[in-house]
Structure 1
Amino acid sequence: MDQPQPTTPRRRRLWVDLTTLAVVGVLLVGAIAAGGAALYKEYYGPGAFVTRYLELLASGRAADALQVPGVAIDRATLEDAGIEETASEALLRQAALAPLTDVDVVNEATVDGVTSVTVSYVAGSHPGKSTFDVEQDGWEGVTPNWRFARTPLAAVSLTVLGSDRFAVNGFEIDRRQVSSAGMEAAPLDALPMLVFTPGLYSITVDTAISSSPGVSILADSPLTQTPVDIQTQPTEEFLSVVQTRVEEFLTECTTQQVLQPTACPFGLEVQNRIEDLPTWTISQQPTVTVEPNGAAWEIPAAEAVAHIEVDIRSLFDGSIEHVSEDVPFRVNGTIDILADGSASIRVGSAGE
């Protein structure tokens, strides 16, 4: 008679097999979950949304960046943030963007449905870090949509002294063309301009009249306004023109054959009577400099010398004396830049 085979070893093997399958299943589910989480973070999460916005800026697609949900801004929001509601949008274009590289999400934190996404990057050659507020904006199938809870736009309030024309990242702008006041804009009025964040904005002036080295502003905080004041300096070409105009003015003054040439900075007073018409020459022209004066320019007082030749008859005894005399004087002036870009130079006499 056959004896029954023991079942314990078989059951133990079955238990081991089932346990192994369970562990494998758990590991598989964990791997799927981890993969799903990584996939979500890389493609569908709030950090991915911000990264796509920055990639648009990095590739120069300014128009597409403006279409990202939550970027476009209304005037009421500008006013609430302390930004002029007439801020120009001239810099929200490809031509005004600087390079943006090495974008990396470094932190995400969610509070009351708003996720703050902090990213690091290099704007131009400057490393920076910015934080953007993002909120869910419905669903697309099983994946969430996102939008900026607060626009990533910011503003610079620009005052350029000595020039109506300047360039931002090489993009040339005439202040009067983008100001809300147009041609009536006062030279000293600040010009508010919207910019993308993050972004590096280098402002330069290089005209025939004035120039300025680049002033770089890193816009890294959404909905903030940064004041920027630039004082230009006269170019050598401008100085040469002013020198020539002053010399021409003084030379023209010498054509007046009177002791006190009208509207001129030099003259001679005598107590007696002149015998004939005096003759003036400029024996020493002034060395002219030009300095900023608010939004305009001025010619600081400079030394010069005129020379007069004249015969004077004495009222006492009728004798005639020939006068050949150097007459020192000081000359200054003001310079206004006209709407057409030309300069109006007014020369005057500097008092002692």
Structure 2
Amino acid sequence: MVDTPEFVSGSAGHEEVGRAHGRTGWRSLPFATRWSINFGALLLALVGTVAILNSTFYSASGFVSSYLDSIAAGDTTAALAGADIERDAATSTPLIAPLPGELDRMQLLSDTVRSNGTHLLLFSFTLRGSAHRASFTVRPDAALWLVFSGWRFAESPFGTLTVTSHGDAEFTANGHRFITAGAGLSAEYAVLLPALVTLSHDSPYLVAAPTEVTVLNAATTVTAEVTPAPKPRFVAEVQKQLSALLDSCVTQTVLQPTGCPFGQDINNEVEGPPHWSMRSYPRLTIIPGATEGTWVVPPSAGTAHLVVPVRSLYDGSRSVFDRDVPFSVSYSIGFTDRGVSISSR
């Protein structure tokens, strides 16, 4: 049997022949020429990639977007390091770290190039669902790896929050505990812009409901106050101590019990031991004292009862003194390692 050669006809045949000639032609080129062409193509691709990255990720807007992404993630370290923020001037100012998930929906609205080469970028975003806007100013910095655009903040992205904690020097900001120099004394704290700070207080005897404070620019210092109120436990503890004191007072068989808020003067002769009892205990409230960090029980009324046999100095007749004795209490309250202490005002 004789093999019959295969023939490829039509356009397919022409394409095959063309490919064959193309391969032969490419291979026939000198190595240096082929290397130069490959290198040129690679260089063009690299230049194109660098151009794309410099217009997106390594652009002024990309720089700020990366910073905002770090804040949105609650990553303070990344926000500081990635944005190359210097904190030397703020080392004495405590930083309130952002909470993850508060900052969301960041979007660039405008990028204005100024005559001095800085970029003014306006972003919209939400802080816990509330819409806001803020601007950032950046300037060119040294190139990264000699090819990628470098940027840094021309205006500090730090804001200032001044907090005054009343009634207690301690408060909580974004879940972290801070202590001022004293109750009622203001203290400054740095925040990374934009910032949403939740302030609160929760200690064994005091509580302040969370309040939100928004800081959007560095030019304005935002002020906030934390004002805790007594917990029911605080009132109950003071009430317990006062009731115990009054219960001990009524055991004293004298007209003027020592260290007690009540007593009775009698102008007749006492013929037997006085007997005290409590008719009604004072119902206490607790309010801040005149001095920051102090708490007091304002004047509160109670009633004791006294029974004692007496003889008249006028005619010698005998009777029983049997009366209610109203009184009032007012106390200063202090905190100790063991809890609460009260002292008469």
Of 99, 103, 106, the residue aligned with 1:100 is 103
Match of 2:41 in 1: none
Asked whether the equivalents of residues 121 and 129 of structure 1 are also in contact (C-alpha less than 8 Å), the reply is: yes
SS of equivalent to 1:269:
coil
Match of 2:59 in 1: 45
> CA separation in 1, counterparts of 2:216 and 2:135?
8
SS of equivalent to 1:241:
helix
Go from structure 1 to structure 2 and tell me whether the alpha carbon gap of 1:162 and 1:337 turns closer, same or farther (over 3 Å shift).
Answer: farther
2:279 maps to 1:283: yes
Match of 1:343 in 2: 340
- Once the two structures are superposed, what CA deviation does each residue of 1:43-88 show, in whole Å capped at 9, x if it has no partner? 222111111101111122211212234523233xx5xxxxxx7422
SS of equivalent to 1:67:
helix
Match of 1:245 in 2: 241
Asked whether the equivalents of residues 56 and 62 of structure 2 are also in contact (C-alpha less than 8 Å), the reply is: yes
- For residue 263 of structure 1, report the CA deviation from its aligned partner: 3.0
TM (norm. structure 1) is: 0.75
Structure 2 residues not aligned, in runs of 5+: 1-46
2:176 maps to 1:148: no
Stretch deviating more after TM superposition (257-266 or 51-60): 257-266
Asked whether the equivalents of residues 287 and 303 of structure 1 are also in contact (C-alpha less than 8 Å), the reply is: yes
- For residue 317 of structure 1, report the CA deviation from its aligned partner: 3.8
Asked whether the equivalents of residues 196 and 215 of structure 2 are also in contact (C-alpha less than 8 Å), the reply is: yes
SS of equivalent to 1:118:
strand
- For residue 98 of structure 1, report the CA deviation from its aligned partner: 4.9
Asked whether the equivalents of residues 152 and 223 of structure 1 are also in contact (C-alpha less than 8 Å), the reply is: no
Match of 1:12 in 2: none
2:64 maps to 1:60: no
Greater gyration radius: 2
Q: Which has the higher contact order (CA 8 A, sep 6+)?
A: 1
Match of 1:87 in 2: 93
Match of 1:299 in 2: 297
TM (norm. structure 2) is: 0.77
How many residues are paired up?
295
Moved over 6 A (4+): 33-38
> CA separation in 2, counterparts of 1:311 and 1:146?
94
> CA separation in 2, counterparts of 1:107 and 1:35?
24
Give identity over the alignment, percent.
Answer: 26
Structure 1 residues not aligned, in runs of 5+: 1-32, 79-84, 180-184
Asked whether the equivalents of residues 73 and 100 of structure 2 are also in contact (C-alpha less than 8 Å), the reply is: no
- For residue 124 of structure 1, report the CA deviation from its aligned partner: 1.8
- For residue 165 of structure 1, report the CA deviation from its aligned partner: 4.0
Asked whether the equivalents of residues 171 and 226 of structure 2 are also in contact (C-alpha less than 8 Å), the reply is: no
- Once the two structures are superposed, what CA deviation does each residue of 1:1-30 show, in whole Å capped at 9, x if it has no partner? xxxxxxxxxxxxxxxxxxxxxxxxxxxxxx
> CA separation in 1, counterparts of 2:170 and 2:298?
25
Of 315, 318, 323, the residue aligned with 2:313 is 315
One-letter code aligned to 1:142: V
> CA separation in 1, counterparts of 2:244 and 2:252?
14
- Once the two structures are superposed, what CA deviation does each residue of 1:126-161 show, in whole Å capped at 9, x if it has no partner? 221111121111223233211111221122221222
SS of equivalent to 1:328:
strand
Alignment of 1:106-117 (within 5 A): 106-111=109-114, 112-117=116-121
Go from structure 1 to structure 2 and tell me whether the alpha carbon gap of 1:39 and 1:67 turns closer, same or farther (over 3 Å shift).
Answer: closer
- Once the two structures are superposed, what CA deviation does each residue of 1:174-222 show, in whole Å capped at 9, x if it has no partner? 51xxx4xxxxx32121232221111211112233312222110112112
SS of equivalent to 1:109:
strand
- For residue 116 of structure 1, report the CA deviation from its aligned partner: 1.7
> CA separation in 2, counterparts of 1:172 and 1:73?
20
> CA separation in 2, counterparts of 1:233 and 1:144?
53
Match of 2:21 in 1: none
Asked whether the equivalents of residues 168 and 182 of structure 2 are also in contact (C-alpha less than 8 Å), the reply is: no
> CA separation in 2, counterparts of 1:323 and 1:211?
47
Of 211, 215, 222, the residue aligned with 1:219 is 215
Alignment of 1:135-214 (within 5 A): 135-140=139-144, 141-169=146-174, 171-175=175-179, 179=180, 185-214=181-210
Go from structure 1 to structure 2 and tell me whether the alpha carbon gap of 1:98 and 1:218 turns closer, same or farther (over 3 Å shift).
Answer: farther
> CA separation in 1, counterparts of 2:304 and 2:298?
19
Asked whether the equivalents of residues 308 and 320 of structure 2 are also in contact (C-alpha less than 8 Å), the reply is: yes
Asked whether the equivalents of residues 311 and 322 of structure 1 are also in contact (C-alpha less than 8 Å), the reply is: yes
> CA separation in 2, counterparts of 1:100 and 1:135?
24
What is the Cα-based RMSD across aligned positions, in Å? 2.6
Asked whether the equivalents of residues 73 and 151 of structure 1 are also in contact (C-alpha less than 8 Å), the reply is: no
Go from structure 1 to structure 2 and tell me whether the alpha carbon gap of 1:235 and 1:62 turns closer, same or farther (over 3 Å shift).
Answer: same
Asked whether the equivalents of residues 201 and 217 of structure 1 are also in contact (C-alpha less than 8 Å), the reply is: yes
One-letter code aligned to 1:133: T
SS of equivalent to 2:82:
coil
> CA separation in 1, counterparts of 2:84 and 2:164?
29
One-letter code aligned to 2:75: R
Asked whether the equivalents of residues 68 and 147 of structure 1 are also in contact (C-alpha less than 8 Å), the reply is: no
Of 64, 70, 87, the residue aligned with 1:73 is 87
